[in-house]
Amino acid sequence: MKLEIQLLHDRVLVRMSGDEGERRSSGGIVIPATAQVARRLNWGDVLGVGNNVRNVKVGDRVLFNPEEQHEVEIQGEPYLVMRERDIHAMASERTEHGTGLYL
């Protein structure tokens, strides 16, 4: 029996992006995934929202601190559940009040 997951209140379900591995600096230097210079915020994709979420929609990409979130495993895949207020920024096709920067 399969049950549909419905998020409550101001909760957001996020799948973390796969770009958590090594990265390259603007100068071309490879930075390994194990290097910890400072806490790093991550981007993720919104898969579900609760009924009190006002600004984030399913399909948006959001910026958040993964260390402060709750991880849940659904059908063997890891996801994060967070409050809308824990999201620092979002990237979407809707252009209302943007920064002029694009992903």
- Whichever domain contains 89, its CATH number is 2.30.33.40
- Is residue 33 included in any domain, yes or no? no
**Cβ pair 12, 78 in contact under 8 A:** no
Q: How far apart are CA 24 and CA 6, in angstroms?
A: 38
What is the number of domains present in the chain? 1
Residue 72 is assigned to a structural domain of this protein: yes
pLDDT for the residue numbered 22: 59
The pTM (predicted TM-score) of the whole model is 0.72
The set of long-range contacts for 19-24, using a CB threshold of 8 Å and a minimum separation of 24, is: 19/43
103 falls within a domain:
no
pLDDT tens-digit map of 1-46: 788 888 899 999 999 876 555 566 677 777 676 665 556 788 999 9
Q: What is the pLDDT of residues 45-99, one digit of tens each?
A: 999 999 999 999 999 999 999 888 899 988 888 999 999 999 999 887 766 665 5
Whether residue 24 is contained in a domain is answered as: no
In this structure, is residue 31 part of a structural domain?
no
Structure tokens at 36: 């910890």
Q: Is 23 inside any structural domain?
A: no
The domain in which residue 61 lies consists of 7-17+40-96
Q: To the nearest whole percent, how much of the chain has pLDDT over 70?
A: 74
> Is 35 within a domain?
no
